[in-house]
């Protein structure tokens, strides 16, 4: 299957460096604990950072016979090399406030020594160091290609942190963690590369050469060290190390290493003999070390720890995603070659889901003895025996083709068909995106504009990979072509963890064969009205989804019993106290808006269920209007208890069977054109729930109103997510 260049690079680099990344991240996890452990055992004395160098030297000189040097470690503790009054030479941690000995420097723990060597050089000396540096560079590229993939998915930089549609655990958290930990991972990679370049002396020279000023090099006027101006102004906070003069000779001096510069100070007069800023390369090395190791900063080392763990997770989730995609996109072998086949099936798919449908369809045709050829849209060609072309394609970006369909249009223009062909296009997409199945519509348009291609059916759109909708299309297509097709069930999905729901109330079945179920579960589940109740009956294990109303924490379902409906018949027999196993799927694109806006709720039949929950949960519905279409007044009765008319701004009903002239919900909308156009203009939300037929009619009316009253196409408001749809 064709995959985009960025996904390909991301994957290839991840696979090729996986072993090294595994070692680097596991040792990185171990090493992240070192700064934490060091800081717990630190000899840092609180408040000592603010002592001046003058005070500190004065205190130490009282306490020790001679001071050779001292340095401040990454945890702000002072290590000094001294000669004690007893004449012993020692390197010890001292308390700068009183000069007292605190302890001896602790040797690095064996586990950290081992992890450091493995992390830095894989115990392979220079060769290993080179590999580690190179893998850091690869990690950097993996992170950048990851960013590009997220940008492609989110469609703009502005939307980088916008919501991600959850397909499955590995995919969702790969993206979520990738966004959250992008900066630490980039820093780990860049600093890793920098430190390796430094080790191989590939960076510009970073040593300082001091220019000694002659006029400050004399030994007069002699001043006590504690009175040196420069020592009085520098506090320990800024000091990295100080080397004391080797002898009383005027050529020997204090060497002061600060965080950004080095100073040479006359040991008699306290005058600055030389002052040099560190070059950028040295500062960058210091920063790289701190950022790469987290030394001296527990918060940063904790972030590094999380980032190292996340790299392991990315490896797991990345491979899971790849295997999943590969499995889905594996094309079954066509039972005939392209020039022998009567039925040509072409697939446009980015992440493999569309292949599942196309393959089921191809199998069904092959099962009744048809010659079938199935391939990717990019492989479009001429087909000697073809009579039917069936295209299944998803849509990406802003109505763009998936990667394996990008060349289709160009090839279609270039290749002359041999025979006249009947075609059908099935779009797989999601209503969560403004350009729902747009690419399928484009393909349909391209085919329709060719004289040798004849359309069998209107292009058909499938939302969220609905198997039900797919089966509907197969049945329409096959009855149009007078073929009897049997679609075999897809492979059973891994069982999800169902919850047990108890029926706590039900209404009798009314004259429209509709009834309400109220369900409760013992476990606390976080859900909202508009989410979906997922139930898979034992008979076929195919998932059915029902829009939920949430009423006082219970689930309210409105169900219409269909003569042959496995689920609706099963539900219709459930009595109070019965239990069923199901789970709740989040459907955040159909939640009531959080921000107070005008909301127009439009439903027909059982589509009212989520709105009943919204009315029950929302205290303030002063800006909310409900439009509902049913057969008769009696149809409304089962819902009456939940509709608080006085709470709503307005409630409009359309009964199709009550009067001679049928009135549908779209007729009510036409009548209230001003209400609708004002809501659209003022960023209000229109929510539609119910049958696909009603959705089509309502959208048509909304389009007309929008164009007439606002002079704008409805797509403007669809793009701004002002139209929310949950129809089936």
Ligand X SMILES: Cc1cc2nc3c(=O)[nH]c(=O)nc-3n(C[C@H](O)[C@H](O)[C@H](O)COP(=O)(O)O)c2cc1C
56 binds ligand X (CB under 6 A): no
Nearest Cα residue to 434 out of 717, 124, 235: 717
543 binds ligand X (CB under 6 A): no
Residue closer to ligand X, measured from CB, 96 or 352? 352
E strand segments, 57-198: 66-72, 78-83, 89-94, 101-103
Pair of tokens at residue 633: 């007044």
Considering only 173, 244, 278, 436, the residue that binds ligand X (CB under 6 A) is 436
Residues in 102-141 at the binding interface with ligand X, rule: CB under 6 A: none
Name the one range near ligand X by CB under 6 A: 139-147, 218-226, 297-305, 434-442: 434-442
Considering only 465, 586, 617, 670, the residue that binds ligand X (CB under 6 A) is 465
Q: How far is the CB of 435 from ligand X (least distance, A)?
A: 4
616 binds ligand X (CB under 6 A): no
97 binds ligand X (CB under 6 A): no
394 binds ligand X (CB under 6 A): yes
DSSP 417: P
435 binds ligand X (CB under 6 A): yes
User: Residue 560 — φ and ψ, nearest 5°?
Assistant: -105, 130
Name the one range near ligand X by CB under 6 A: 182-190, 422-430, 515-523, 590-598: 422-430
Determine which helix (DSSP H) or strand (DSSP E) holds 359, and give its type and residue range: helix 353-367
Nearest Cα residue to 347 out of 334, 329, 367: 329
Instruction: State yes or no: cis peptide before 220, omega within 30 of 0.
Output: no
Q: How far is the CB of 428 from ligand X (least distance, A)?
A: 4
β-sheet bridge partners, residue 255: 243, 264
Considering only 20, 253, 380, 396, the residue that binds ligand X (CB under 6 A) is 396
Pair of tokens at residue 319: 């491979």
The contacts of residue 8 (CB under 8 Å, 6+ apart) are none
Residue closer to ligand X, measured from CB, 428 or 582? 428
Determine which helix (DSSP H) or strand (DSSP E) holds 473, and give its type and residue range: helix 467-480
695 binds ligand X (CB under 6 A): no
Place of tokens 């087909």: 383
Angle between helix 169-180 and helix 298-329 axes, rounded to 10 deg? 140
375 binds ligand X (CB under 6 A): no
Residue closer to ligand X, measured from CB, 75 or 589? 589
Q: How far is the CB of 445 from ligand X (least distance, A)?
A: 16
2 binds ligand X (CB under 6 A): no
395 binds ligand X (CB under 6 A): yes
466 binds ligand X (CB under 6 A): no
Determine what percent of the chain falls in helix, strand and coil, rounding each to the nearest 5.
40, 20, 35
Determine the Cα–Cα distance for residues 717 and 702; give it in Å rounded to an integer: 10
Name the one range near ligand X by CB under 6 A: 257-265, 428-436, 506-514, 679-687: 428-436
- Long-range contacts of the stretch 435-438 (C-beta < 8 A, 24+): 435/395, 435/398, 435/399, 436/395, 436/461, 436/463, 437/395, 437/461, 437/462, 438/395, 438/398, 438/399, 438/400
Determine the Cα–Cα distance for residues 301 and 35; give it in Å rounded to an integer: 7
Cα first-last separation, the chain? 31
Q: Are 468 and 692 in contact (CB under 8 A)?
A: no
Name the one range near ligand X by CB under 6 A: 223-231, 433-441, 625-633, 667-675: 433-441
Q: Are 360 and 488 in contact (CB under 8 A)?
A: yes
Q: How far is the CB of 172 from ligand X (least distance, A)?
A: 11
425 binds ligand X (CB under 6 A): no
Angle between helix 353-367 and helix 467-480 axes, rounded to 10 deg? 40
Name the one range near ligand X by CB under 6 A: 111-119, 393-401, 512-520, 562-570: 393-401
Considering only 1, 29, 428, 580, the residue that binds ligand X (CB under 6 A) is 428
Q: How far is the CB of 441 from ligand X (least distance, A)?
A: 10
Q: In what order do the strands lie in the sheet with 499-506?
A: 544-547, 532-535, 579-585, 499-506, 514-521, 554-560, 549-551
Residue closer to ligand X, measured from CB, 341 or 354? 354
Determine the Cα–Cα distance for residues 105 and 94; give it in Å rounded to an integer: 10
Q: How far is the CB of 442 from ligand X (least distance, A)?
A: 11
726 binds ligand X (CB under 6 A): no
Determine the Cα–Cα distance for residues 404 and 150; give it in Å rounded to an integer: 19
Kindly write out the interface string for residues 152-171 of this chain, putting x where it contacts ligand X by CB under 6 A and - elsewhere. Answer: -x------------------
376 binds ligand X (CB under 6 A): no
Name the one range near ligand X by CB under 6 A: 10-18, 94-102, 391-399, 669-677: 391-399
216 binds ligand X (CB under 6 A): no
Considering only 433, 583, 642, 655, the residue that binds ligand X (CB under 6 A) is 433
Residue closer to ligand X, measured from CB, 347 or 694? 347
Q: How far is the CB of 175 from ligand X (least distance, A)?
A: 10
The contacts of residue 707 (CB under 8 Å, 6+ apart) are 713, 714
Pair of tokens at residue 513: 């064969």
Considering only 96, 133, 429, 605, the residue that binds ligand X (CB under 6 A) is 429
Considering only 318, 402, 607, 690, the residue that binds ligand X (CB under 6 A) is 402
DSSP 84: -
- Residues binding ligand X: number (CB under 6 A): 21
Nearest Cα residue to 549 out of 605, 599, 615, 501: 615
437 binds ligand X (CB under 6 A): yes
Query: Shortest Cβ contact with ligand X: which residue?
Result: 429
Determine the Cα–Cα distance for residues 258 and 239; give it in Å rounded to an integer: 5
Q: How far is the CB of 608 from ligand X (least distance, A)?
A: 26
Q: Are 143 and 186 in contact (CB under 8 A)?
A: yes
Kindly write out the interface string for residues 347-366 of this chain, putting x where it contacts ligand X by CB under 6 A and - elsewhere. Answer: --xxxxxx------------
345 binds ligand X (CB under 6 A): no
Strand, coil or helix: what is 635? helix
Summarize as ranges the residues that interact with ligand X (CB under 6 A): 153, 349-354, 394-396, 399, 402, 428-430, 433, 435-438, 465
């Amino acid at each position: 299957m064709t995959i985009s260049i960025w996904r390909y690079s991301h994957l290839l680099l991840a696979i090729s460096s996986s072993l090294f990344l595994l070692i680097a991240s596991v040792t990185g996890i171990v090493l992240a604990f070192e700064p934490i452990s060091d800081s717990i055992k630190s000899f840092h004395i609180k408040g000592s950072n603010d002592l001046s160098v003058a005070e500190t030297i004065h205190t130490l000189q009282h306490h020790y016979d001679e001071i050779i040097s001292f340095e401040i470690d990454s945890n702000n503790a002072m290590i000094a090399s001294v000669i004690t009054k007893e004449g012993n030479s020692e390197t010890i941690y001292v308390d700068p406030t009183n000069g007292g000995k605190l302890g001896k420097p602790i040797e690095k723990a064996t586990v950290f020594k081992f992890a450091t060597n493995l992390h830095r050089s894989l115990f392979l000396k220079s060769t290993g160091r080179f590999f580690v540096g190179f893998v850091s560079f690869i990690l950097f590229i993996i992170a950048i290609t990851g960013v590009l993939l997220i940008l492609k998915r989110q469609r703009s930089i502005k939307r980088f942190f916008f919501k991600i549609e959850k397909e499955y655990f590995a995919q969702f958290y790969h993206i979520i963690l990738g966004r959250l930990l992008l900066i630490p991972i980039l820093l780990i990679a860049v600093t890793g590369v920098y430190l390796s370049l430094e080790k191989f002396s590939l960076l510009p020279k970073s040593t300082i050469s001091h220019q000694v000023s002659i006029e400050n090099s004399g030994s007069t006027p002699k001043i006590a060290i504690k009175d040196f101006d420069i020592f009085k102004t520098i506090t320990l906070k800024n000091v990295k190390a100080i080397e004391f003069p080797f002898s009383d000779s005027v050529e020997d001096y204090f060497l002061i290493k600060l965080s950004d510069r080095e100073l040479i100070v006359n040991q008699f007069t306290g005058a600055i003999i030389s002052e040099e800023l560190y070059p950028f390369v040295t500062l960058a090395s210091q920063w790289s070390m701190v950022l790469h190791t987290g030394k001296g900063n527990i918060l940063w080392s904790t972030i590094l720890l999380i980032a190292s763990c996340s790299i392991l997770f990315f490896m797991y989730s990345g491979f899971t995603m790849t295997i999943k995609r590969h499995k889905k996109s594996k094309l079954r072998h066509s039972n005939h070659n392209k020039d022998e086949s009567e039925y040509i099936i072409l697939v446009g798919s980015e992440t493999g889901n569309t292949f599942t449908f196309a393959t089921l369809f191809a199998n069904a045709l092959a099962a009744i003895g048809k010659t079938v050829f199935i391939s990717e849209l990019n492989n479009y060609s001429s087909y000697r025996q073809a009579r039917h072309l069936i295209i299944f394609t998803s849509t990406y970006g802003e109505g763009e083709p998936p990667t394996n369909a990008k060349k289709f249009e160009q090839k279609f223009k270039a290749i002359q068909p041999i025979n006249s062909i009947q075609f059908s296009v099935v779009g797989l997409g999601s209503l969560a995106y403004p350009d729902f199945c747009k690419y399928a519509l484009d393909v349909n348009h391209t085919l329709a504009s060719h004289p040798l291609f004849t359309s069998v059916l209107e292009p058909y759109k499938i939302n969220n990979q609905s198997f039900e909708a797919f089966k509907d299309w197969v049945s329409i297509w096959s009855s149009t072509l007078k073929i009897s097709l049997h679609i075999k069930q897809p492979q059973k999905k891994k069982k999800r963890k169902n919850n047990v729901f108890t029926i706590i109330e039900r209404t009798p079945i009314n004259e429209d064969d509709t009834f309400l179920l109220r369900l409760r579960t013992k476990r606390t589940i976080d859900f909202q009205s508009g989410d979906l109740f997922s139930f898979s009956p034992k008979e076929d294990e195919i998932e059915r989804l029902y829009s939920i109303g949430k009423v006082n924490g219970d689930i309210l379902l409105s169900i219409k019993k269909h003569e042959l409906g496995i689920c609706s018949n099963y539900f219709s027999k459930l009595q109070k106290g019965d239990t069923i196993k199901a789970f709740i799927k989040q459907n955040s694109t159909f939640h009531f808006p959080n921000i107070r806006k005008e909301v127009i709720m439009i439903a027909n039949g059982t589509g009212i269920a989520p709105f009943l929950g919204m009315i029950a949960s929302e205290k303030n519905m002063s800006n909310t209007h409900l439009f509902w279409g049913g057969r008769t007044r009696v149809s409304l009765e089962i819902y009456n208890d939940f509709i608080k008319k006085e709470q709503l701004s307005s409630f409009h009903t359309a009964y199709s069977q009550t009067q001679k002239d049928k009135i549908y919900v779209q007729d009510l909308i036409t009548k209230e054109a001003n209400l609708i156009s004002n809501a659209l203009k003022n960023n209000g939300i229109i929510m539609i729930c119910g049958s696909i037929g009603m959705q089509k009619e309502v959208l048509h009316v909304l389009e007309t109103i929008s164009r007439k009253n606002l002079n704008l196409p409805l797509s403007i408001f669809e793009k701004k997510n002002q139209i929310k749809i949950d129809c089936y």
